[in-house]
Amino acid sequence: MSDRFSLQGRKALVTGANAGIGQAIAIGLARAGAHVTCAGRRGCGETLEKIGSGGDEIRLDLADPMAARDVFTGTGYDILVNNAGIIRRADAVAFTEADWDEVIDVNLKALFFTCQAFARAALAAERPAKIVNIASLLSFQGGIRVPSYTASKHGVAGLTKLMANEWAARRVNVNAIAPGYIETANTEALRADRARNAAILERIPAGRWGQPEDIADTAVFLAAPASDYLHGAVINVDGGWLAR
């Protein structure tokens, strides 16, 4: 592997690393050489088994947006991947305040304050660092029946650009990935619905659902020296969905 894509000697933390996209990112970073801390409100045992000796875990329930405030001081993390997120579905006219607040707290407020804690430590140590936020196609589209999720993911894209503006000159890169339709447990119901699955595939120029590894490979690039001049980007990894 070219040194420009190597994460050897780097220390990373991935939120929501117990399954799906977060698990794939944690494994991908570890394969590139990073020591990876898998963070989640549930255990990440399966992910750690796949990583082997290059990983550890902490419990982090981001329903408390300040849960990570003490995680980064003096711990030497170089990479943060904000993958943890939740979704609630209901018509906009029936959407509850509780569902709004729960999603915004995890997907947006916790993401910002986790980035803040990470950046404070990196800036204080004058250490180069990489932040990778997981946005969504709904950072660009409206969606249906997911108002708080859509608002949160628009916010993730905006905060990614704001933080990049503030920290780029101090060698902290902040970028985001907007996944398309990916084969995970969260999309199982969509794939099982023949009509919905066919409609989705018809819209995707690549003609297939994405794999979690597609997102992981992009995350490795954004965490590696190869992306040192990339700041404030939101990269669509969607098989061409948004280009259609």
Residues labelled as active-site residues: 149
Question: ∠ CA 67-72-74 to the nearest 5 degrees?
Answer: 140
Q: Single out the residue of 7, 134, 160, 10 nearest to residue 62, CA to CA.
A: 134
Bridge partners (DSSP) listed for residue 13: 37, 80
Q: Do residues 12 and 32 lie in contact, with contact meaning Cβ atoms separated by under 8 Å?
A: no
